[in-house]
Structure formats: structure tokens, C-alpha cells
Amino acid sequence: MTRWIVGAGTGLWRAGAVAATTMAVPALWAAAVVLAVWWVGSPWTWIPLFVLPAVGTLGLSRPVCRWVRALVARWTGTEIPPGYQEPPPVTQLSTGFWWNGYTYAKSAKQAREEQEWRHKLRDPATWRDLRFVEIVALTAGVAALVPLAGIALAALGFATSSYVAGVAGLLVGIGTAPYGWRLLAPVAVRFLRPPAATTLADRVSELTAQRADTTIAQAAEIRRIERDLHDGAQARLVALGLSLATAEKLMDTDPAQAKALLQEARTGAATSLTELRELVQGINPPVLNERGLVDAVRAFALDSPLELTVDAEPLTLDPPIESAAYFAVVELVTNAIRHAEAGSASISIAREKVALVIVVEDNGRGGAAVRPGGGLEGLQRRLAAFDGTLEVASPAGGPTRVKMTVPCESS
């Protein structure tokens, strides 16, 4: 009984929120009709009857759709992407005028203001929003009014001693309250989602940006490998060759010196081999190839100067995902050591449904955020190549908690 009462109260509140949101445009048109009736006989009656509500509908359509998305996301957890097209940037020409993609303006502010309404009118999402505010009012809006009308009838009936009407209204209001708001989510998902063409265009733009990021990252990695080879192993191997050539010449005349050079050459060869192994490990650790992500992270934790605890379950993933996840963990732990001054950290690796979820938490000083050009933004872009996401929670003073989610299949 208590659960039903709580559900009815929550339903009434949500129905009121749905009605207030979805019926804003119809209320505007109703007010326009009342105003037009009040102005009967005036030659300007057509202004409040047509112009004002039309302009008001255009101005309210986008805020109403934004409120609907927020309500659906809050109550059901369903995220509906806006799908609005981004306007082109305004640019200043050599003549001093500003071009906004449509017309010229004398200032950047004027160019953006004119661009805003022009772009809004040409955006297909604007006409989708105008259609949606009509549909949602006739569907979810009407459904949300039923429990509210029942409560209003009950209040009126009890106030006028019409107890039959009061009880009937109360039963209707309470009985329909848990369901009056539920039509909002399916209507919004069906009619408010971006059109397929817009979704495809956004996906193409996203993939183009990811390809550019991948190309840049590959070029940087190649330069790093070339630099490490040139400055490290290559230089040592050249010195090794010179030592062996000199030792060969001194073998008959100065055996002791030749022996010393051979010992130095052996040391140099061992050092070069160590550097080559470290370089190869930086490209792709052998333990990652041989034993998978979890064991590679555990091996990294053993060698880390930070006190690390790893909580993971056995997973078998595609090599590209394992590599991306491993280096993401390494980068986050390195950031905790260098920037957060952390003393300990924990790493959690698990599979939730069809996604790999990795959580790295440290006890550092916090303050980490995804900033343009920063390391976390680069990590976010690399995960986006696999449709992955990055969530950062790092209040000042710590702790810092980073959650990475990558869609994948695991066996």
C-alpha cells in the first residue's frame, strides 16, 4: 500500500512535469486565441492570432525538446542525441569583413547573430522539433493530463459537496498517476531522435577525426622509435663495431688492450640488447601478446613504483582492444605518479554485458580534467576509435577516479 501511494505521488509529479513541458506550445496558441477574441473589431487581430504564436512556437520548440530529453534521460536513463548541425565558424577576410557562411558582416558578433537564425532555419532538426512539439502534445501531453484532470475533478467535487464526482475523480487521478507520464519516453525516442542522414554524417565526421588522430599518433610513434634507435641501440652498435675493429688490429701487438676492448664490446652488446628489449616492450609488451591484458596489467603493477592493487577477471579480447586498454592503464598510472603525487592506486578490470569496463582510482591530490590538448583528451580520442568512453571524477584534494568503457565481445 505504501509503495502504491509513493508511486502515485511520484507519478502525479512526473505527469505534471510532462504536462507543463509538452503543453507549453498549445497553451501559447490558446492564449493567442483568447487575445484575438479580446481584440475583436481591431484591424490587427491577425497579429496575435497567427504571427505571435508562430514566432513563439519556433522559439519554444528547441527548449521544449531539450526539456523532454532531460526528463527522459533522468527518469529512464535513455539518452536521445540532439542531432543539431554545428554552424560553420565565422572568419575574417582581408577586407576586414566577417563571413559566416551565408552573408558578410562588419563585426564577428554581428556575423554570429545573423548566422544563428539562418542556420537554425536551415537545420533539418529545427523542423523535426516543430513536428515533435505537435505530436508530443497530442500523445504524451494528453495522457499526462488524465491524472491531473482526475485530481482537479476530485478537488472540485469535494469542494461543491458532489462526493460521487469527487470519489470518481480521485480514483481516476490516483489510478492513472503511475502511468500518465510513461508515454513520453517511447514518443520521444520515436520522433525526437536524429534522422538517419544526420546520424550518418556525424559518424562520418567522427571517423574522419579519429583517422586523423590515428595517423598523427602513428607518425609520432614512428618518430619516437626512430629517435630511440638512433640515440640508443644504433649508436652503441656503431661503437661496438669500432671496438671490434680496433681489437682485431691490436690482437697481435697488444693482446691486453684488445682483451679490454672485447670486454667493453661485450658490455655494449648487452646494453644494446637491453635497450632493444625495452624498445620492443614499449611498442607491445611480450606478456601482453602471450598472456593477455590482465596478466600484462599485473606484471606492470609489480614493476610500478606506485602501490597498485589489481582486481580483474580472466578475459580474452581482440588484440587491438587489449593494446589500447593496456596503454590507457599505463598512462593513467603514470599520470597519478607524475602529476597527482599519489601513494597508491587500484585498477579494476571487468566485463559488463558486452563492454570492457576499466576503473583506475588513485589517492592523489585530484584536479584532473579532460582539457583541450591534454593527455586525457588524447586518451579519450584513442578510446573513441573503438566507440569507447572516458569518465573522469577528480575533485580537488582527490581521489581521482577514471572509468573507461569499451564495447567488445569476450570469450
Predicted confidence (pLDDT) per residue in 302-332, tens digit:
877 778 888 887 777 777 788 888 888 888 8
Same domain (yes/no): 129, 265: no
Same structural domain, 59 and 180 = yes
Which range scores top for mean pLDDT: 32-36, 86-90, 169-173, 274-278? 169-173
Final residue of a structural domain among 255, 283, 311: 283
- Pair 20, 156: CB distance under 8 Å: no
Number of domains the chain is built from: 4
Residue 209 parent element (H or E):
helix 196-228
Same domain, 359 and 375: yes
Helix (H, G, I), strand (E, B) or coil at 358: strand
- Are residues 184 and 38 part of one domain? yes
Together in a domain, 302 and 357: yes
CA proximity to 295, closest of 333, 243, 349 = 349
| Three cell numbers, residue 146 | 488524465
Question: 220 falls in which pLDDT band (50, 70, 90)?
Answer: low
pLDDT at 365: 81
Do 20 and 130 fall within a single domain?
A: yes
Rounded to the nearest 5 degrees, what angle is found at the Cα of 174, between the Cα atoms of 173 and 175?
95
Q: Which residue has the cell 572516458?
A: 390
Give the end of a domain, one of 97, 116, 135.
116
Is pTM beyond 0.75? Reply is no
Q: Do 159 and 18 fall into the same domain?
A: yes
pLDDT number for residue 371? 77
pLDDT recorded at residue 95: 75
Indicate the angle between helix axes 24-38 and 52-76, nearest 10 degrees. Answer: 160
Rg of the chain in Å (alpha carbons): 33
- Which pLDDT does position 411 carry in this prediction? 47
Torsion of CA 378, 380, 386, 387, to 10 degrees: -140
Q: Kindly report, residue by residue over 291-303, the tens digit of the pLDDT.
A: 778 888 888 888 7
Same domain, 395 and 267: no
Residues 130, 10 within the same domain:
yes
Can you give the CATH number for the domain in which 273 is found?
A: 1.20.5
pLDDT digits (tens, 9 = 90+) for 171-202: 888 888 888 888 988 999 888 887 666 666 66
Give the residue numbers spanning the domain of 265.
Answer: 198-283
Question: Residue 302: what pLDDT?
Answer: 81
Assess whether 152 and 32 both reside in one domain: yes
- How many angstroms separate the CA atoms of 97 and 103, rounded? 10
Reported as a single tens digit per residue, the pLDDT across 245-276 is 776 677 767 777 767 766 776 776 666 666 66
pLDDT over threshold 70, residue 17? yes
Q: Using the 8-state DSSP alphabet, how is residue 10 labeled? A: H
